[in-house]
Structure 1
Amino acid sequence: MAEPLLELRGVHTHIGAYHILHGVDLVVPAGQVTMLLGRNGAGKTTTLRTIMGLWAASSGELRFRGERIGGPGTPADTPRIAQRGIAYVPENMGIFGDLTVQENMVLAARSARRAAQLDTARLDWIFGLFPALKKFWLYPAGKLSGGQKQMLAVARAIVEPRELLLVDEPSKGLAPAIVQNLIEAFRQLKAQRTTVLLVEQNVAMARALGDRVAVMDNGRVVHDGSMAALAADDDLQQRLLGLSLGAHA
């Protein structure tokens, strides 16, 4: 396995009176796409939000490039975590509907205060991935379709190079053609050695993109290994996920 970029060791997370993560151990290798799979309520979104510092780990530790970024004694400081080169695309997309597509992109860029300061070569690459964003550049983001909003959410996360992307169910509710656009975007990011931790229910996307896979159940990682090995083992899929990936390809 490649050198780990992100590691979670025995991470527990409480949200109010609820104990959601129960000792999560997770390794995300550098330069690969790691799929985070599991049934609804398994703790996948809580894991991403804990990594990003939106919820504080009550015990355990989180390390990025070997440096501690979370756990008791380490403040859950989302801006500080983002400054390390970690971007998060939440399931609700997190775009600003009253702002234009352009304004959303500028807000996401740390090195630009206006559109003219955006990296034009990178912007052209993003437009190549998501042509609709160029077409609707000056439109309010709230008027975009659901698929276009998801494209914008991903584009915001990659408007500048990031070392690690945390992405929560990007294909949810999208048409197959738009899902293919997203798959191609993540393939190109992986080719650029961007590391991705991807929560996804679309098994075709998981099979197409995943190098590694971690399966969660009841707030714990109950399986980790290669995505190819899981995809080839119907019995393991049924036991861990309650479905056959081949039947949903």
Structure 2
Amino acid sequence: MTAKEEGEGTASTLFARGVSVHFEGVTALEDVDLDLAPGEILGLIGPNGAGKTTLVNVLTGFQRPDTGTVGIDRAEMTGRPAHDFARAGLGRTFQAVRLFAGMTVLDNVELGAVGKGVARGQARAEARQILDWLDLGSMADTVSGTLPYGDERWVGLARALAGRPRFLLLDEPAAGLNEAEAERLVATVARIRDRFGCGVLIIEHNMQLVMSLCDRIHVLEHGRTIATGTPAEAQADPEVRRAYLGGHGPGSTDAEAQAAGGRRRAASFAPGRDLLAVEGLQVNYGPVQALRGISLSIGEGELVSVIGPNGAGKSTLTLAVAGIVPPAAGHIRYDGADLSGRPAERIVRDGISLVPEGRHVFPALTVEENLIAGATPARGRGNVDPAALEEVLATFPILKERYRSAAGKLSGGEQQQLVIARALLAKPRLLLLDEPSLGLAPLVIDLVFDILARMRDAGQTILLVEQNADRALAISDRTYVLRSGAIVLSGASADLAVDPAFDEAYFGFAQNAPAGAAAEAPAP
């Protein structure tokens, strides 16, 4: 259903009508409609910052919308507390598993039923039944805080089921699971739908999982619905491809990719010897394996991009190279030397600067003071090379105009220029850029990428992590495609920009899949 109906849903649906949410002037959701019917599996997808978790929070009573209504079975629930939503038939899991660590698995699952109003004795019996049904009965008496990560996620699912939900909302249930565990999840969600008859809404970055499991797909971008339909329709929708890949998307002509992303470097360019060599890099966040033995290299003077879907491990790669997160295995070699064990501040002095995702200026300090802070690790407190400062201000003239202004008063695009300029004042041989286009207007993105192209042409070595695949492919010399913590495709960016195989590497499904081509979920 797409038409609004006086703020009501149809019988036996979970619904949202005209839902908008704003956080301090930032639009998280704008006029979103959604319906979930019993027995339906609905995938909610979209790039970073699309508003997916905010919408789930609205649908479960954790976030009150600024405008619009939510409800169940024509009954409006807007503004009611989360426990009312639970007792009306809502169950959910969270991105971060939230078990009571000091309680047993059985106690955690039992609480899901008690919270719904089930008597203790009956709740405990039902909790055991659910654990047995999910093949978790052997861990019933295990203290939850001792569980490995994958088992924690299964117990969270069991607890949600103990509340007898009519509608089950799963927020990134496959995050951190390996391939075999993700396949088990697909089969289990299909079994849940068949056994309990509940509607299931699933947020998930694993596109192959979503497309194989869901009956319908609802796509958000910047808080707005841009597409709804079957998995095959979502795969073929140019707006969905644009939201994830930017511009026309790989598979378009090279001229189109160039127009969307910026000017490509002259074909005669040849990089110098490897400045960075990553070998078999594995990074874990507790029990979650974020990078799974990846290897890549960057030659001197080269601009290399790393692209991939949400949750692929791209930011983790930059954090590992910068010395902020430690590798669990593998090597990071910079200028021939292993960086293992070097603190982040030493790595900056050695010539690697990171521009992190989200900008992170010092808002109360002036532009000048922010720039001085960038030079400090390499030259000492307050000691800025005047020639380097003049060069940076010539590259970013808006910063010269705003030199005495507080950084917190700059626009998003001006702040992005500031953090790049600040990193350059450390005189890096290798510049790491994490999502420089995130949250910027198209014209500002054009400006930032023009600056990056000029830096590239001047010989700056750059590792670029970027959500906008078109722009990354157009500006870089080579590209690595990262998915689920592993490199699945690499090559010259000019070649990948017109390679139909890119879609399958990026999303996990083939380009322009025909209607009905989505794989069926594994049998329970």
User: Normalising to structure 2: TM-score of the pair?
Assistant: 0.44
Alignment of 1:19 onto 2:285: no
Question: What SS does the corresponding residue of 2:339 show, helix, strand or coil?
Answer: strand
Give the number of aligned pairs: 238
Are 2:483 and 2:506, in contact at CA under 8 Å, matched by a contact in 1?
no
Which residue of 482, 495, 504 corresponds with 1:239?
Answer: 504
Tell me the residue number matched to 1:219.
Answer: 485
Provide structure 1 residue ranges, at least 5 long, that are not aligned to the other structure.
Answer: 245-249
Tell me the residue number matched to 2:318.
Answer: 48
Amino acid at match of 1:236: A
Question: For residues 347 and 384 of structure 2, what CA distance do their matches in structure 1 show?
Answer: 22
Tell me the residue number matched to 1:62.
Answer: 332
* CA RMSD of superposed structures (Å): 2.0
Alpha carbons of structure 1 residues 78 and 112: separation in structure 2 relative to 1, 3 Å: closer
Q: Write the mapping of 1:117-156 to structure 2, written as runs, cut at 5 A.
A: 117-156=383-422
Q: Write the mapping of 1:86-105 to structure 2, written as runs, cut at 5 A.
A: 86-105=352-371
Question: For residues 48 and 54 of structure 1, what CA distance do their matches in structure 2 show?
Answer: 9
Question: For residues 241 and 21 of structure 1, what CA distance do their matches in structure 2 show?
Answer: 16
Shift, 1:12, TM fit: 0.8
Amino acid at match of 1:153: V
Shift, 1:214, TM fit: 0.5
Shift, 1:128, TM fit: 3.0
Which residue of 48, 58, 83 corresponds with 2:349?
Answer: 83
Shift, 1:111, TM fit: 2.2
Shift, 1:155, TM fit: 0.6
CA displacement, residues 93-125 of structure 1 (integer Å, 9 cap, x when unaligned): 2211111110010011032643xx533343333
Structure number with larger C-alpha Rg? 2
Amino acid at match of 1:22: R
Are 2:474 and 2:497, in contact at CA under 8 Å, matched by a contact in 1?
no
Amino acid at match of 2:506: L
User: Normalising to structure 1: TM-score of the pair?
Assistant: 0.89
Query: Higher relative CO (CA 8 A, sep ≥ 6), structure 1 or 2?
Result: 1
Which residue of 25, 28, 48 corresponds with 2:298?
Answer: 28
Question: For residues 282 and 450 of structure 2, what CA distance do their matches in structure 1 show?
Answer: 34
Question: For residues 10 and 207 of structure 1, what CA distance do their matches in structure 2 show?
Answer: 24
Amino acid at match of 1:151: Q
Shift, 1:183, TM fit: 1.6
Amino acid at match of 2:504: R
Are 2:307 and 2:480, in contact at CA under 8 Å, matched by a contact in 1?
yes
Provide structure 2 residue ranges, at least 5 long, that are not aligned to the other structure.
Answer: 1-269, 511-524
Which residue of 14, 35, 39 corresponds with 2:309?
Answer: 39
Amino acid at match of 2:303: V
Shift, 1:145, TM fit: 1.1
CA displacement, residues 67-88 of structure 1 (integer Å, 9 cap, x when unaligned): 1002xxxx14101111110000
Question: For residues 19 and 161 of structure 1, what CA distance do their matches in structure 2 show?
Answer: 33
Tell me the residue number matched to 2:463.
Answer: 197
Amino acid at match of 2:332: L
Question: For residues 398 and 438 of structure 2, what CA distance do their matches in structure 1 show?
Answer: 19
